[in-house]
Amino acid sequence: MRLENPPSFKTIDEARSFLKSLTARDEVTNFAYLGISLPRESDNKPLDVTTYSSEWARHYFNKRYHRIDPAIIQGLSGVLPFDWNSRPYTVRRLREFFSVAREFGVSRQGVSFPIRGAHGERAMFSVNSSLPSKDWECFKETHLGDLALFAYMFHLRILELRGIEQVAPNVTLSARELSVIRWAAEGKTAWETAKILGITENTANFYLRNAAVKLSATTKPQAIAKAMRIGLLH
């Protein structure tokens, strides 16, 4: 599952349709984006863009499941990807939540990516899958980096719809910074990039950090996403 191109949509409705088109792949059943305190949102109302059924969405909020949903609680409070099955759920209300979710076609398999933005906004991008456990673990191992990158690119596109550009289009990276970030976009580690370019791992990390600073990014996926958005990576 290689998500090579930045998400392209012009409205929130188009964003939902875009995510829906990606669920045609066998690996992913649903996508969900939740933005909190987004820039230029006067009433501070969260923005949700999901492929879940409208029936499940109504039931979810009627039952106030957002108050107990681990994907929401853990995903928004952390900084690392949160695997929905990373811990046992013994509380009766949580067991009920997952049982009802399955009736609406929502599997227990999933991962959520927290996003911290430069404007103080928080967001979360979740991926839900009906793959068997063993296949899901294999899928995550292979595609977690691509999904983390895609999550942030989707967030950047949402901000663009609000007239917020996170990085100036005239950012200039040195030849070495550009090489390092290009290999990072290909999924290479700093060690692998160092071997390819004939430099040390510390030097590769140095150039990657420099590129991230120039792009106003705090993580490698954010740096790659921003570089892609302004056309530095082709």
Is the pLDDT at 2 greater than 60, yes or no? no
- Token pair, residue 202, equals 């510390």
pLDDT digits (tens, 9 = 90+) for 44-67: 678 889 999 999 989 998 998 988
Lowest mean pLDDT among 45-49, 147-151, 218-222: 218-222
Burial of 21 (0-12, 13-18, 19+ CB in 10 A): exposed
Angstrom distance (rounded) from CA 94 to CA 135? 24
Is the pLDDT at 180 greater than 90, yes or no? yes
Burial of 125 (0-12, 13-18, 19+ CB in 10 A): buried
pLDDT band at 40 (very low <50, low <70, confident <90, very high): low
Q: Is residue 1 part of a domain?
A: no
Is the pLDDT at 196 greater than 80, yes or no? yes
Does residue 45 sit in the same domain as residue 111?
yes
H/E segment holding residue 216:
none
- Token pair, residue 137, equals 């673990």
- For 153, other C-beta atoms within 10 Å of its C-beta total 22
Tokens 């949700």 locate to 48
Q: What is the pTM of this model?
A: 0.76
Q: Is residue 152 part of a domain?
A: yes
Angstrom distance (rounded) from CA 175 to CA 211? 11
pLDDT band at 37 (very low <50, low <70, confident <90, very high): confident
> Roughly what angle, to the nearest 10 degrees, separates helices 133-161 and 12-22?
160
Is the pLDDT at 43 greater than 60, yes or no? no
Q: What is the pLDDT of residue 108?
A: 85
Instruction: Assign residue 206 the CATH number of its domain.
Output: 1.10.10.10
Q: Is residue 4 part of a domain?
A: no
Sign of CA dihedral 60, 66, 67, 73: positive
The residue with greater pLDDT, 52 or 3, is 52
Q: Which residues make beta-bridge pairs with 32?
A: 50, 126
pLDDT band at 167 (very low <50, low <70, confident <90, very high): low
State percent of the chain over pLDDT 70. 91
Does residue 65 sit in the same domain as residue 28?
yes
Q: What is the pLDDT of residue 194?
A: 93
H/E segment holding residue 82:
strand 82-83
Is the pLDDT at 121 greater than 60, yes or no? yes
Owning domain of residue 210: 175-229
Q: What is the pLDDT of residue 179?
A: 93
Q: How many domains does the chain have?
A: 2
Does residue 200 sit in the same domain as residue 99?
no
Instruction: Assign residue 95 the CATH number of its domain.
Output: 3.30.450.80
Is the pLDDT at 3 greater than 60, yes or no? no
Does residue 214 sit in the same domain as residue 140?
no
